[in-house]
Amino acid sequence: MAKEIHSTAIVSPTAQVEEDTIIGPFCIIGDNVHIRKGTRLISNIVVEGNTEIGEDCTVYPFTSIGLPPQDLKYKGEKTGLKIGKQNTIREYVTIHRASVSGDGLTTIGDNNFLMAYVHVAHDCKIGNSVIMANVATLAGHVSVGDYAVIGGLVAIHQFTRVGAYAMVGGFSGVGQDIPPYMIASGARVKLFGLNTVGLKRHGFSDSTINELKKAYKILFREKRTLKDAIKKIQEDLPYTDEIKHLIEFIQKNKRGICR
């Protein structure tokens, strides 16, 4: 199928719009934008900057993608935004290109679902199959691991990480890293155990879940420093891929770990 561009859409001559793409009414596509095949921009969408949107994405009305970062340090430098394939981006979402204090690129992986009014700030790194509910907000330099779920009205502080398969309950304020596989909630977010339901839905075995529960207890329920807790886990538990990932995530923290 040939690309379909509505007569009211404005598309820069330097933009790359691949075949099978639909650009709906009143969309504005700026210079150097690259929209890959099968993607549909429904209507009233602005895409600008050094931005790439992958294959088979659907973007809903009144969304802004690739606009300059909300960062006072930014003075118009060439930075970018890369969005993967098969993402659903709902109404009024804002996704900004990077600023000058990171690697120059805001990235979103594949198969993500960003609900209405989500904000993804400059230099964020979102993995694959992430769900962000309405009005979830990421400040600059936030990273979100694969299959994480972020509830509605959640605000996540700059440079904070949310681990893979973690779940953050709605109306939470996140100022420290949420380890992978965990569930967290609260105005000043706290851990509430393992994301057991989520792990079962994604096919984790009972034995793996039980080992992660033991690791959680050692890390966060026993009166140990993180260093001592990690040492005990390494000595007492099977060093599975999941345990290894959990420990490496904790060891790389810079803002502290939510307890």
Q: Which of 24, 122, 145, 151 is catalytic?
A: 122
Of 126, 135, 142, 42, nearest to 84 (Cα)?
Answer: 126
Determine the pLDDT at residue 143.
Answer: 98
Q: Is 103 a catalytic residue?
A: no
Span 211-235, mean pLDDT? 96
Query: Which amino acid is present at 255?
Result: R
Segment 5-43, tens digit of pLDDT: 999 999 999 999 999 999 999 999 999 999 999 999 999
- In three state form, how does the secondary structure of 12-29 look? CCCCEECCCCEECCCCEE
The DSSP bridge pattern shows strands 125-126 and 22-23 to be: unpaired
Six token digits for residue 74: 């930014």
Distance, CA of 194 to CA of 104 (rounded, Å): 34
Q: Is 123 a catalytic residue?
A: yes
pTM above 0.85, yes or no: yes
Q: Is 256 a catalytic residue?
A: no
Determine the pLDDT at residue 2.
Answer: 77
Q: Can you list the positions of beta strands (E) in 68-172?
A: 80-83, 88-89, 94-96, 105-108, 113-114, 119-120, 125-126, 131-132, 137-138, 143-144, 149-150, 155-156, 161-162, 167-168
Segment 74-112, tens digit of pLDDT: 999 999 999 999 999 999 999 999 999 999 999 999 999
Distance, CA of 149 to CA of 140 (rounded, Å): 18
Average pLDDT of the chain is 97
228's enclosing H/E stretch is: helix 226-236
Among left, alpha and beta (phi > 0; psi -120 to 50; other), residue 30 is: beta
Q: Which of 66, 84, 140, 151 is catalytic?
A: 140
Span 236-242, mean pLDDT? 96
Question: Residue 36 in contact with residue 47, Cβ under 8 Å?
Answer: no
Segment 111-165, tens digit of pLDDT: 999 999 999 999 999 999 999 999 999 999 999 999 999 999 999 999 999 999 9
Of 177, 171, 181, nearest to 214 (Cα)?
Answer: 181
Asked whether the predicted pLDDT for residue 1 surpasses 70, the reply is: no
Cα four-point dihedral sign 116, 143, 198, 191: negative
Six token digits for residue 65: 């993608």
Question: Residue 152 in contact with residue 135, Cβ under 8 Å?
Answer: yes
% residues pLDDT > 90 (the chain): 99
Span 44-73, mean pLDDT? 98
Q: Which of 56, 123, 146, 177 is catalytic?
A: 123
Of 202, 196, 204, 181, nearest to 258 (Cα)?
Answer: 181
